[in-house]
Amino acid sequence: MKLNYKRTILVGFAFFLISAFWQAYDATIPVILTNKFGMSQTWSGVIMALDNILAVFMLPVFGALSDKCKTRYGKRTPFITIGTVLAAAAILCLSFVDNMQLKNIADVATIDDPQAMAVIYDLQADKSLLTPEGDTVVLSEEFTKEEFVAITCKITDPATGKTITNPDYTNYVAPARQACAAQATRQNTMPLILFVILLLVVLLSMATFRSPAVALMPDVTVKPLRSKANAIINLMGTAGGILVLVLGMVFATSAVQNALMSYTVYYGVIAAIMLGALAIFLSTVREPKWAEEMAADSIKYGIEEKQEESGAKRELSASEKRSLLLILASIALWYFGYNAVTSKYAVYAGNILDKDYNTTMLLAQGAAIVSYVPSGNIASRIGRKKTILAGVVMLATAFTVAAFMRAESPTWMMNAMFALAGVAWATINVNSFPMVVEMCSGGDVGKYTGFYYTASMSAQIATPMLSGFLMDKMGMTVLFPYAAIFVALAFVTMSLVKHGDAKVLAKKGLEALDIDD
């Protein structure tokens, strides 16, 4: 047996477009909510958590529904097609509502325009300008009107000669403009109402096909090769995210002067990327044919019994059920640790380490990318459980060492720990999903994919709140010990798992010479 890399890459275009969407969504929606609608960080965070909350309930449902779907295009393809088209259309419509709000805040929407600065100052002077929290913005105590109007978002640092963001701009202009946006939103709530409605349409559309899209890989890949295939799927997802990151650089979506930009063209390009990836997927992927071939190969190699060929379901034994629950618990636990770090490290790096968080996060991502395929190959030789346990040990080690590091610690050491964390995360992530679907029959892949996402999404909802609460109560330095403890607990639960590894098949004839088996 050899993995068909071409087929796996083509199947991966579904995950490619999903990752492209979420990269754009996570990068721009919080900016729109805070800068244009004037929302507080708290309410913006609540709305941003909606996708994870919806995912907990909807991904298992649509995964199970796709298991029961029977069309000439297959079980998963209809969900992927309809969901992608709806999401692409909805995100483009979202930009039109965003433009409505830009008109709503037209008086103060121009970055660094003297007239806009004067409007902001005058609104504050008559005490009508309130922050999203209800506090009055005080500018007159710090600046005369002329001084405030003269503030620009870029100045030259006399010490280095480099162009930097003016601290006065960051501390006064941006919050004042946000307060103006909040006031405009209170006076005309229709754009916000439409924006939230469309946001729900976008999230519901994405939720309809995430589980079916991910379940397609096991549908067309025999069980022993799923770790290798999942590595390719993860690489495709990473490629989608990187493409959108490059687009963000081209459109300068993170630039201060573009804080109130129109996203119509940007979202149009994102929608085009999604539909382009869908077109490649639909024109190349033959889901029913490939699924039938996988079922035939599974019977041929003794991986599945003949009665499972048609997708019939089987009951798990008591031992298998226990292993499934332990795997799901392990998934939740390592997400509790890992996601706490990824969601809080930007704040931690600035306050505790006095370091740029971008470098370390980029190193972690780069290390993960180069580790996806090797970790899948290693698992095919020593088993998924052993590979995951090794990854858990590496991740716990990285977080434990990082817990002792401070601003005076060598930068290279923190970089090394994040690189180690990236390798560890790839090792865990590539092999955990195949372990979940290893125990199900062909008729339940979508359902079990939903179980996987329920465990991971639940942790991602809870851990930012729990870790944030502990950081408020015990200090920021609790972050890495917190993460290390949860990852260590995952080692305990994972070590108790008895099922989920691929069957090791005897090599016969010429197949024994196939080193890719």
**Tens digits of per-residue pLDDT, 431-448?**
999 999 988 876 788 889
The tokens 């290279």 sit on which residue?
A: 412
Distance, CA of 68 to CA of 391 (rounded, Å):
35
Q: What is the pTM of this model?
A: 0.80
pLDDT tens, N- to C-terminus, the chain (517 residues): 789 999 999 999 999 999 999 989 988 888 899 889 988 767 887 787 788 888 888 888 999 999 999 899 999 999 999 999 999 999 999 999 999 999 998 877 777 778 888 888 887 776 666 666 666 666 777 788 888 888 877 777 777 777 777 777 777 777 888 888 888 898 899 999 999 999 999 999 999 999 999 999 999 999 889 989 999 999 999 899 889 888 988 888 877 778 888 999 999 999 999 999 999 999 999 999 999 999 898 888 877 655 444 445 567 889 999 999 999 999 999 999 998 998 888 778 877 887 766 678 778 888 999 999 999 999 989 999 999 999 999 999 999 999 999 888 888 999 999 999 999 999 999 999 999 998 887 678 888 999 999 999 999 888 888 998 898 889 889 999 999 999 999 999 999 999 988 765 444 433 433 434 3
Nearest to 233 by CA among 245, 210, 217: 217
Q: Which DSSP letter does residue 136 get? A: B
Distance, CA of 137 to CA of 143 (rounded, Å):
12
Give the model confidence (pLDDT) of 341-384 as tens digits. 988 887 788 778 877 666 787 788 889 999 999 999 999 899 99
Q: Is 162 exposed, middle or buried (0-12, 13-18, 19+ CB in 10 A)?
A: exposed
CA torsion 419→425→431→435, rounded to 10°?
Answer: 160
DSSP string of 59-89?
HHHHHHHHHH---TT-SSHHHHHHHHHHHHH
For the chain, what's the residue count? 517
Contact 227, 373 (CB under 8 A): no
Instruction: Give strand pairing partners of 165.
Output: 154
